[in-house]
Each structure stands twice: as C-alpha cells, then as structure tokens.
Copies of this chain bind each other. A is one copy, B any other.
C-alpha cells in the first residue's frame, strides 16, 4: 500500500515496532516470524507508512527465480531491453522490499540477497555486469512461518544470521476484539464472541488441525455476518471450513462453536 494517506490499521503486540525501526536505522535486514494470518503484511505496511518509504511486496513461490527478483532482458522492437525486477527497483529507490513467505522461494533467490544483507549493501546484477549500491532507506524484510519449516524448505543459516528476527503472534483477546470489530465493521459483542471461538480453537490440542484459527478468519466470519449470515453460518464457512476437511473434526468444531455463538437466524 505505498503512498496510502492514512496509516494502515495495525495494533502492536509487543516491542516489534521499536525493534523494526532500530534495524531500519542501522540498515539491517529483518526476518518476521509468525503464523498464517497474524498480520505480518499489515505490520510491514504500517512500518513503511511510519518510515515514509515506498513498499514493494513480492509473494514468494517455488518458481520465483533470481531473474524474477532482479530483472531480465525482454525483446522490444527487435532489441533486448533490460527491465528491473522488484528487488532492483527497491534497491534503486530506497524502498522497503518485502519478500512474503521467503522459504517458498528457491535457494538461489535467498543467496542473491546475501550481499544486500551484510556490510556491502550491494546488489550484483551479473547479467548487466554491474553492482548497485542500495539507496539510503532501502530495507529488506522477509517473512516466514516457523510452523511450516521442513528439512527441505528452511532458511539457510548463512541467510538467517544476516537478519534481525522479529516474532509476531496472535494479539491478546482485547486487542483482537478491537481489530475484528474495526476490520469487519461489526459491533463489539459479536466480535468478542468470534474471538472467544478463535481462542477456544487455539487451545485445542491433538485434534488434527494443522493450523489454528487466525485473526484473518475471525475477520472474514465477521464480514459474512455483516453481509447477513447468522454467526453460526458465518463461522462454519469462514472458520471451520478452511481449517479442516475431516467430517469428525468438523463436527467437533461446530459443537465447540455452538457453545460460544448466539444464533438467532437460519440453522445450518
């Protein structure tokens, strides 16, 4: 959200804004660790706003190549013309470059970051034969979800040790209620019910859920209620459905939900 005129809505959970700004001032790179849907993207948007830097976001994936980040030659009018990738644009403009879910990228993507993340702050572009010095204000931010890591997909130690780590989690109940109410545009009581459902699910153990209910799905449920669904219909579609495909687990979650949700409309 570069150039947005109002601060993106972000409520801090701990000292994360403090640490981020210190790293930024020192030209250090940042790795954000935290579960799905806890607000990592929104946090970076808020920091970019506060620090008055443009934000360039790249969603990482298996096929993201170095060329996708750095740039490539394209054929234009019979000639080849270099087109900067998002990382190169950020290096030239002094932007914050946010690589979302960086472990999804191939290792060549992360190794190309190394000279940017140590004292050199340089981006060598081998195909152009040039080495760019990062403009002041350039800051590299990557995120990943520690719960997903496997032997095959992990950040290399030589990459991790080049970054300052910030851990993000789900906010405390009162903060989360405020966020859900504001983001979904629903009243505080309904938001509080949804947060209690979310927290009950987060306390579950050994029921075969790979992930817990995130703040994001609570907001989605709130928005469905805002669009006229009953709380139970909304929670089933936005919270239970995304969490599991298993019929037994679904039944358990629905029962748990019913204990928390007042339902005055059409039964499911």
Distance of A149 Cα from B59 Cα, bound (Å): 24
* Pairs A–B under 8 Å by Cβ, sample size 12: A26-B227, A36-B158, A61-B106, A62-B106, A77-B79, A101-B111, A148-B157, A161-B242, A164-B224, A164-B238, A165-B238, A167-B241
Other contacts beyond A15-B233, A101-B111, A161-B214: 14, CB < 8 A: A19-B224, A23-B227, A25-B227, A26-B220, A33-B241, A36-B161, A41-B120, A59-B111, A78-B78, A83-B127, A149-B245, A157-B211, A160-B243, A166-B241
Cβ contact within 8 Å between B74 and A37: no
Known A-B contacts A18-B229, A36-B161; the reply to A126 vs B241 at CB < 8 A is no
Chain B residue numbers with a CB within 8 Å of A25 are: 227
Closest chain B CB from A64 CB (angstroms): 7
Chain B residue numbers with a CB within 8 Å of A62 are: 106-108
Chain B residue numbers with a CB within 8 Å of A263 are: none
Known A-B contacts A210-B157, A216-B118; the reply to A242 vs B163 at CB < 8 A is yes
Within 8 A of B (CB), among A45-74: 57-66, 68, 73-74
Chain B residue numbers with a CB within 8 Å of A21 are: 227
A196 at the interface (CB under 8 A from B): no
Closest chain B CB from A153 CB (angstroms): 11
